[in-house]
Amino acid sequence: MENHTKVFLAMKTEMEKGSYTLAEAGEMIALFLTHNQITRGEYDELYELCDTLEVNSHEDEDENWKVGINVSIQNLEKRVASLETLLAHTPETDPDEPDGSKDNPYDAYIGLIYYKDKYYYDIEDSSLYICTRDSVIQLYYMPHELIGHYFAKVEDTGE
């Protein structure tokens, strides 16, 4: 039987019992070798034993899980905060962009979905129409072709 140091024997026993994680054992045996408490041969033998050790202890795994959950929560909180900021910001409307009002009607075209109480300008007959009910689907007709069904012509009152 080889003559081993007490430090080597104690460390080997604890490693075989699983008292150390891979990182802990690696750190310990490196310190023992650096301080000449074990021989190079003993270090090599202990280093080979490291392959049998768990990477993390149960406490480490629990801690890693908790850290992962906390990071996920923080990321979600950041996303929620940025979404709340975006939702709270009301963009200014472009005055040149049609809004369906009488003074700023939408241009009507074939294949458009029409919405109730919105105004549409029919370029085929150069007239203004108000939609009397939602079309829900695309309509392949112009407003002047759907008077009484979806539209009423807006008479120019000279205002």
Identify whether 71 is part of a domain.
Answer: no
pLDDT of residue 1: 42
pLDDT of residue 57: 61
pLDDT of residue 23: 84
DSSP string across 93-119 = PPTTS--SSSSSPEEP-TTBPP-TT-E
The distance between the two most distant Cα atoms of the chain, rounded to a whole number of Å, is 115
pLDDT of residue 2: 63
Q: Which residues of the chain have pLDDT under 50?
A: 1, 157-159
Identify whether 31 is part of a domain.
Answer: yes
pLDDT of residue 132: 96
pLDDT of residue 145: 94
Identify whether 130 is part of a domain.
Answer: yes
Q: Which domain holds residue 126?
A: 106-153
What total number of domains does the chain contain? 2
Identify whether 10 is part of a domain.
Answer: yes
Contacts of 104-112 spanning 24+ positions with Cβ under 8 A: 108/142, 108/143, 109/142, 110/139, 110/140, 110/141, 110/142, 111/138, 111/139, 111/140, 112/138, 112/139
pLDDT of residue 157: 47
Q: Residue 66: enclosing H or E segment and its boundaries? A: helix 58-88
